[in-house]
Amino acid sequence: MGENGVMFAGETARGWGSVGPKPYGLEKVEWTGKVPFEIQEIVAQPDGFILRFTHPVDPLSAENPANYSVAGFTYKYHSTYGSAPVNRLSCPIRRVEVSADRRSVRIGAICLREGYVHEIKALGVRSAGEGEGLVHPVAYYTLNEIPEGERLIPVETREPEFCVPLVPPSAMQSTKKHPTEAPADWKRRDGERALVLGTRPGMKFDQEELVVTAGETIQFVFRNSDDMLHNVVIWCPGTGQAVGAAAMAMGIDGPANNYVPESDDVLYHTALTQPESTERIFFTAPEQPGDYDYICSFPGHAGIMKGILRVRAR
Protein backbone atom coordinates (compact mmCIF):
# COMPACT_ATOMS: atom_id res chain seq x y z
CA MET A 1 0.00 0.00 0.00
CA GLY A 2 1.24 3.48 -0.82
CA GLU A 3 0.24 6.79 0.71
CA ASN A 4 -3.41 7.92 0.87
CA GLY A 5 -4.72 4.41 0.28
CA VAL A 6 -3.05 4.00 -3.13
CA MET A 7 -2.50 0.32 -3.90
CA PHE A 8 0.12 -1.24 -6.16
CA ALA A 9 -0.25 -4.65 -7.75
CA GLY A 10 2.36 -6.59 -9.72
CA GLU A 11 1.35 -8.91 -12.57
CA THR A 12 3.07 -11.85 -14.17
CA ALA A 13 2.24 -13.77 -17.32
CA ARG A 14 2.30 -17.19 -15.66
CA GLY A 15 -1.28 -18.39 -16.14
CA TRP A 16 -3.08 -15.08 -15.83
CA GLY A 17 -1.70 -12.28 -17.98
CA SER A 18 -2.39 -8.63 -17.41
CA VAL A 19 -5.41 -7.18 -19.20
CA GLY A 20 -3.68 -5.11 -21.86
CA PRO A 21 -1.06 -5.37 -24.55
CA LYS A 22 1.88 -6.28 -22.24
CA PRO A 23 2.33 -9.67 -20.56
CA TYR A 24 3.74 -8.11 -17.37
CA GLY A 25 2.66 -5.06 -15.46
CA LEU A 26 2.71 -2.94 -12.36
CA GLU A 27 -0.68 -1.40 -11.66
CA LYS A 28 -1.35 1.65 -9.51
CA VAL A 29 -4.88 1.54 -8.16
CA GLU A 30 -6.37 4.75 -6.88
CA TRP A 31 -9.96 4.95 -5.69
CA THR A 32 -12.05 7.54 -7.54
CA GLY A 33 -14.36 7.95 -4.55
CA LYS A 34 -17.27 6.47 -6.50
CA VAL A 35 -18.68 3.14 -5.28
CA PRO A 36 -19.34 0.92 -8.32
CA PHE A 37 -22.61 -1.02 -8.64
CA GLU A 38 -21.57 -4.51 -7.52
CA ILE A 39 -22.73 -7.57 -5.62
CA GLN A 40 -21.27 -6.78 -2.21
CA GLU A 41 -22.07 -10.03 -0.45
CA ILE A 42 -23.85 -13.35 -0.97
CA VAL A 43 -25.40 -15.26 1.96
CA ALA A 44 -26.55 -18.87 1.66
CA GLN A 45 -30.17 -19.59 2.56
CA PRO A 46 -32.04 -22.92 3.07
CA ASP A 47 -33.40 -22.64 -0.47
CA GLY A 48 -31.24 -20.14 -2.31
CA PHE A 49 -29.16 -17.04 -1.70
CA ILE A 50 -29.41 -13.43 -0.57
CA LEU A 51 -27.52 -11.02 -2.81
CA ARG A 52 -26.58 -7.73 -1.17
CA PHE A 53 -25.72 -4.88 -3.53
CA THR A 54 -23.57 -1.77 -3.08
CA HIS A 55 -26.42 0.48 -4.30
CA PRO A 56 -30.22 0.18 -4.19
CA VAL A 57 -31.57 -1.83 -7.11
CA ASP A 58 -34.19 -0.89 -9.64
CA PRO A 59 -37.10 -3.02 -8.34
CA LEU A 60 -38.59 -3.82 -11.77
CA SER A 61 -35.38 -5.43 -12.97
CA ALA A 62 -34.49 -6.94 -9.57
CA GLU A 63 -37.79 -8.78 -8.98
CA ASN A 64 -37.76 -10.46 -12.39
CA PRO A 65 -36.55 -14.10 -12.02
CA ALA A 66 -35.46 -14.07 -15.67
CA ASN A 67 -32.70 -11.63 -14.73
CA TYR A 68 -30.89 -14.30 -12.67
CA SER A 69 -29.57 -17.78 -13.16
CA VAL A 70 -28.08 -20.31 -10.77
CA ALA A 71 -26.21 -23.51 -11.64
CA GLY A 72 -24.14 -25.94 -9.57
CA PHE A 73 -21.00 -27.82 -10.63
CA THR A 74 -17.82 -29.31 -9.24
CA TYR A 75 -14.30 -30.19 -10.39
CA LYS A 76 -12.43 -33.45 -10.80
CA TYR A 77 -9.72 -34.05 -8.22
CA HIS A 78 -6.87 -35.76 -10.04
CA SER A 79 -3.13 -35.64 -10.67
CA THR A 80 -3.24 -33.78 -14.01
CA TYR A 81 -3.46 -29.99 -14.22
CA GLY A 82 -6.87 -28.39 -13.88
CA SER A 83 -10.35 -29.76 -14.52
CA ALA A 84 -13.34 -28.79 -16.59
CA PRO A 85 -16.51 -28.19 -14.53
CA VAL A 86 -18.37 -31.50 -14.15
CA ASN A 87 -21.85 -32.60 -12.95
CA ARG A 88 -23.36 -29.30 -14.00
CA LEU A 89 -26.97 -28.87 -12.97
CA SER A 90 -29.06 -25.77 -13.41
CA CYS A 91 -31.07 -24.58 -10.39
CA PRO A 92 -34.44 -23.24 -11.59
CA ILE A 93 -35.45 -20.05 -9.76
CA ARG A 94 -38.91 -20.24 -8.23
CA ARG A 95 -39.18 -16.94 -6.32
CA VAL A 96 -37.40 -13.61 -6.02
CA GLU A 97 -37.97 -11.09 -3.24
CA VAL A 98 -36.55 -7.56 -3.10
CA SER A 99 -35.94 -6.14 0.41
CA ALA A 100 -37.77 -3.00 1.57
CA ASP A 101 -34.54 -0.95 1.40
CA ARG A 102 -33.88 -2.34 -2.11
CA ARG A 103 -30.31 -3.17 -1.14
CA SER A 104 -30.74 -6.93 -1.22
CA VAL A 105 -32.56 -9.61 -3.16
CA ARG A 106 -33.45 -13.09 -2.00
CA ILE A 107 -33.46 -15.77 -4.68
CA GLY A 108 -35.37 -19.00 -4.07
CA ALA A 109 -34.05 -21.85 -6.23
CA ILE A 110 -34.38 -25.62 -6.34
CA CYS A 111 -31.76 -28.33 -7.01
CA LEU A 112 -29.05 -26.79 -4.81
CA ARG A 113 -26.40 -29.30 -3.80
CA GLU A 114 -24.12 -29.35 -0.76
CA GLY A 115 -20.42 -29.49 -1.58
CA TYR A 116 -20.93 -27.96 -5.03
CA VAL A 117 -19.81 -24.61 -6.40
CA HIS A 118 -22.82 -22.50 -7.43
CA GLU A 119 -22.54 -19.99 -10.22
CA ILE A 120 -24.93 -17.09 -9.63
CA LYS A 121 -25.59 -14.68 -12.49
CA ALA A 122 -27.49 -11.41 -12.10
CA LEU A 123 -27.11 -10.21 -15.67
CA GLY A 124 -30.29 -8.17 -15.95
CA VAL A 125 -30.27 -6.37 -12.59
CA ARG A 126 -30.01 -2.57 -12.79
CA SER A 127 -29.28 0.05 -10.16
CA ALA A 128 -32.06 2.41 -9.05
CA GLY A 129 -31.89 5.86 -10.62
CA GLU A 130 -29.00 5.58 -13.06
CA GLY A 131 -30.03 2.13 -14.28
CA GLU A 132 -26.46 0.83 -14.38
CA GLY A 133 -25.67 -2.85 -14.91
CA LEU A 134 -23.38 -4.68 -12.48
CA VAL A 135 -19.66 -4.34 -13.14
CA HIS A 136 -19.29 -8.05 -12.21
CA PRO A 137 -22.65 -9.79 -12.73
CA VAL A 138 -21.31 -13.33 -12.15
CA ALA A 139 -20.41 -14.78 -8.73
CA TYR A 140 -19.38 -18.21 -7.43
CA TYR A 141 -20.42 -19.64 -4.06
CA THR A 142 -19.12 -22.97 -2.72
CA LEU A 143 -22.07 -24.31 -0.78
CA ASN A 144 -20.28 -26.38 1.87
CA GLU A 145 -23.46 -26.59 3.93
CA ILE A 146 -27.07 -25.63 3.20
CA PRO A 147 -28.15 -23.67 6.30
CA GLU A 148 -31.30 -24.25 8.32
CA GLY A 149 -33.86 -21.46 8.59
CA GLU A 150 -36.96 -19.92 7.17
CA ARG A 151 -37.70 -20.93 3.61
CA LEU A 152 -38.83 -18.77 0.73
CA ILE A 153 -40.13 -21.73 -1.26
CA PRO A 154 -42.41 -24.21 0.60
CA VAL A 155 -40.64 -27.48 1.32
CA GLU A 156 -43.27 -29.39 -0.71
CA THR A 157 -41.93 -27.75 -3.84
CA ARG A 158 -39.47 -30.48 -4.72
CA GLU A 159 -40.04 -30.70 -8.47
CA PRO A 160 -37.44 -33.42 -8.91
CA GLU A 161 -38.11 -33.61 -12.63
CA PHE A 162 -36.48 -30.20 -13.01
CA CYS A 163 -33.29 -31.33 -11.31
CA VAL A 164 -31.80 -32.95 -14.39
CA PRO A 165 -28.18 -32.48 -15.39
CA LEU A 166 -27.69 -30.38 -18.51
CA VAL A 167 -25.64 -32.72 -20.62
CA PRO A 168 -23.52 -30.51 -22.85
CA PRO A 169 -22.94 -31.73 -26.40
CA SER A 170 -19.61 -33.46 -26.38
CA ALA A 171 -16.96 -30.81 -26.84
CA MET A 172 -14.89 -33.27 -28.80
CA GLN A 173 -17.41 -34.02 -31.54
CA SER A 174 -16.72 -33.09 -35.12
CA THR A 175 -18.58 -29.99 -36.35
CA LYS A 176 -18.36 -27.63 -39.30
CA LYS A 177 -15.93 -25.39 -37.42
CA HIS A 178 -14.24 -28.25 -35.57
CA PRO A 179 -13.73 -30.74 -38.40
CA THR A 180 -11.83 -33.67 -36.91
CA GLU A 181 -12.00 -35.73 -40.10
CA ALA A 182 -10.92 -34.95 -43.63
CA PRO A 183 -13.90 -34.38 -45.97
CA ALA A 184 -14.50 -37.40 -48.21
CA ASP A 185 -14.06 -35.36 -51.40
CA TRP A 186 -10.49 -34.25 -50.70
CA LYS A 187 -8.16 -35.35 -53.50
CA ARG A 188 -5.32 -35.90 -51.04
CA ARG A 189 -6.87 -37.70 -48.08
CA ASP A 190 -4.48 -36.12 -45.56
CA GLY A 191 -4.61 -32.62 -47.10
CA GLU A 192 -2.29 -30.77 -49.47
CA ARG A 193 -0.44 -29.10 -46.61
CA ALA A 194 0.32 -30.19 -43.05
CA LEU A 195 0.71 -27.50 -40.40
CA VAL A 196 2.07 -28.43 -36.99
CA LEU A 197 1.65 -25.87 -34.21
CA GLY A 198 3.02 -26.46 -30.73
CA THR A 199 3.24 -24.60 -27.44
CA ARG A 200 6.04 -23.03 -25.43
CA PRO A 201 6.03 -22.40 -21.66
CA GLY A 202 4.55 -19.09 -20.59
CA MET A 203 1.37 -19.32 -22.68
CA LYS A 204 2.95 -19.07 -26.11
CA PHE A 205 2.54 -20.89 -29.38
CA ASP A 206 5.85 -22.13 -30.80
CA GLN A 207 5.22 -20.19 -34.04
CA GLU A 208 3.71 -16.75 -34.42
CA GLU A 209 3.19 -17.04 -38.15
CA LEU A 210 1.90 -19.84 -40.36
CA VAL A 211 1.70 -19.52 -44.14
CA VAL A 212 -0.77 -21.25 -46.45
CA THR A 213 -2.08 -20.77 -49.98
CA ALA A 214 -5.69 -19.71 -50.59
CA GLY A 215 -8.03 -22.65 -51.12
CA GLU A 216 -5.59 -25.45 -50.28
CA THR A 217 -6.65 -28.34 -48.07
CA ILE A 218 -4.93 -28.35 -44.69
CA GLN A 219 -4.27 -30.90 -42.02
CA PHE A 220 -3.74 -28.84 -38.88
CA VAL A 221 -2.02 -30.55 -35.95
CA PHE A 222 -1.95 -28.88 -32.53
CA ARG A 223 0.56 -30.40 -30.09
CA ASN A 224 0.00 -29.13 -26.58
CA SER A 225 3.21 -29.97 -24.74
CA ASP A 226 2.50 -27.41 -22.01
CA ASP A 227 1.11 -28.17 -18.54
CA MET A 228 -2.07 -26.12 -19.10
CA LEU A 229 -5.17 -26.52 -21.26
CA HIS A 230 -5.00 -24.66 -24.59
CA ASN A 231 -6.85 -24.48 -27.88
CA VAL A 232 -6.34 -22.86 -31.27
CA VAL A 233 -9.08 -20.70 -32.77
CA ILE A 234 -8.73 -19.19 -36.25
CA TRP A 235 -10.58 -15.92 -36.81
CA CYS A 236 -11.29 -13.47 -39.58
CA PRO A 237 -8.61 -10.75 -39.79
CA GLY A 238 -8.55 -8.33 -36.87
CA THR A 239 -11.23 -9.92 -34.69
CA GLY A 240 -9.17 -12.19 -32.41
CA GLN A 241 -8.98 -10.03 -29.30
CA ALA A 242 -12.70 -9.18 -29.33
CA VAL A 243 -13.58 -12.83 -29.51
CA GLY A 244 -11.03 -13.61 -26.78
CA ALA A 245 -13.06 -11.34 -24.51
CA ALA A 246 -16.30 -13.06 -25.57
CA ALA A 247 -14.73 -16.44 -24.70
CA MET A 248 -13.81 -15.16 -21.23
CA ALA A 249 -17.46 -14.15 -20.64
CA MET A 250 -18.69 -17.71 -21.30
CA GLY A 251 -18.02 -18.71 -17.65
CA ILE A 252 -18.76 -22.34 -16.78
CA ASP A 253 -20.47 -22.84 -20.14
CA GLY A 254 -17.03 -22.38 -21.68
CA PRO A 255 -15.49 -25.86 -21.48
CA ALA A 256 -18.49 -27.65 -23.03
CA ASN A 257 -18.02 -25.33 -26.02
CA ASN A 258 -14.20 -25.39 -26.00
CA TYR A 259 -14.31 -21.69 -24.96
CA VAL A 260 -15.32 -20.85 -28.52
CA PRO A 261 -18.17 -18.30 -28.59
CA GLU A 262 -20.83 -18.33 -31.29
CA SER A 263 -19.56 -15.90 -33.89
CA ASP A 264 -19.41 -15.57 -37.66
CA ASP A 265 -15.83 -14.37 -37.17
CA VAL A 266 -14.77 -17.87 -36.06
CA LEU A 267 -13.50 -19.92 -39.01
CA TYR A 268 -12.12 -23.09 -37.40
CA HIS A 269 -10.98 -24.27 -34.00
CA THR A 270 -9.48 -27.22 -32.19
CA ALA A 271 -10.98 -28.71 -29.03
CA LEU A 272 -9.68 -27.54 -25.68
CA THR A 273 -6.58 -29.73 -25.64
CA GLN A 274 -5.31 -31.43 -22.48
CA PRO A 275 -1.65 -31.09 -21.46
CA GLU A 276 0.64 -33.47 -23.31
CA SER A 277 -1.90 -34.27 -26.01
CA THR A 278 -2.51 -33.62 -29.70
CA GLU A 279 -5.54 -32.43 -31.68
CA ARG A 280 -5.99 -32.66 -35.44
CA ILE A 281 -8.44 -30.76 -37.63
CA PHE A 282 -8.91 -30.62 -41.40
CA PHE A 283 -10.00 -27.49 -43.22
CA THR A 284 -9.71 -25.61 -46.48
CA ALA A 285 -7.72 -22.35 -46.36
CA PRO A 286 -9.84 -19.20 -46.96
CA GLU A 287 -10.20 -18.16 -50.61
CA GLN A 288 -9.63 -14.54 -49.60
CA PRO A 289 -5.89 -13.84 -49.12
CA GLY A 290 -4.92 -11.89 -46.00
CA ASP A 291 -3.65 -12.10 -42.44
CA TYR A 292 -6.01 -14.20 -40.32
CA ASP A 293 -5.64 -14.39 -36.54
CA TYR A 294 -5.16 -17.47 -34.46
CA ILE A 295 -5.40 -17.32 -30.69
CA CYS A 296 -5.88 -19.54 -27.68
CA SER A 297 -9.29 -18.55 -26.31
CA PHE A 298 -8.84 -20.16 -22.89
CA PRO A 299 -9.69 -17.37 -20.41
CA GLY A 300 -6.75 -15.04 -19.90
CA HIS A 301 -4.57 -16.45 -22.72
CA ALA A 302 -5.72 -14.54 -25.81
CA GLY A 303 -3.69 -11.42 -25.01
CA ILE A 304 -0.33 -13.16 -25.51
CA MET A 305 -1.11 -16.59 -26.97
CA LYS A 306 -1.65 -15.60 -30.58
CA GLY A 307 -0.29 -15.66 -34.10
CA ILE A 308 -1.07 -14.90 -37.72
CA LEU A 309 -2.23 -17.33 -40.39
CA ARG A 310 -0.97 -15.70 -43.58
CA VAL A 311 -3.07 -16.72 -46.59
CA ARG A 312 -1.21 -16.07 -49.87
CA ALA A 313 -2.95 -15.69 -53.21
CA ARG A 314 -2.88 -18.75 -55.44
Rounded to whole angstroms, how far apart are CA atoms 133 and 266?
Answer: 28
Considering the complex, state which of residue 286 and residue 307 has its C-beta at the smaller distance from Cu ion.
307
* Residue with Cβ nearer Cu ion (267 or 296): 296
Residue closer to Cu ion (CB basis): 13 or 128: 13
Q: Give residue 174's identity as a one-letter amino acid code.
A: S
Asked whether the beta carbons of 298 and 259 are under 8 A apart, the reply is yes
* Cβ 206 to Cu ion shortest distance, Å: 13
CB of 298 to Cu ion, least distance (A): 4
Task: Name which position in 230, 235, 270, 285 contacts Cu ion (CB under 5 A).
Answer: 230
Closest CA to 294 of 121, 283, 103: 283
* Minimum CB distance to Cu ion smaller for 231 or for 284: 231
Q: Is the CB of 47 or the CB of 293 nearer to Cu ion? A: 293
CB 28 within 8 A of CB 8: yes
| CA angle, residues 198, 203, 207, in degrees to nearest 5 | 35
Q: Judged by CB under 5 A, which stretch of 61-69, 142-150, 227-235, 245-253 contacts Cu ion?
A: 227-235
Is residue 138 classed exposed, middle or buried when 0-12, 13-18 and 19+ CB atoms within 10 A define those classes? middle
Order of strands, sheet of 138-143, starting from the edge strand that comes earlier in the sequence: 85-90, 69-75, 116-121, 138-143
- The residue sitting closest to Cu ion, measured at its beta carbon, is 296
Among the listed ranges 31-39, 141-149, 214-222, 228-236, the one in contact with Cu ion (CB under 5 A) is 228-236
Q: 230: which DSSP letter? A: B
> Where in 278-307 is the site for Cu ion (CB under 5 A)?
296, 298, 301, 305
**Shortest distance, position 10 Cβ to Cu ion, whole Å:** 22
Give the residue with the Cβ less far from Cu ion, 183 or 201: 201
Residue 197 Cβ vs Cu ion, minimum distance, rounded to whole Å: 12
Q: Indicate whether 260 belongs to the interface with Cu ion (CB under 5 A).
A: no
Beta bridge partners of 126: 133
| Closest of 31, 27, 28 to residue 18, by C-alpha | 27
Chain residues in the site for Cu ion (CB under 5 A): 230, 296, 298, 301, 305
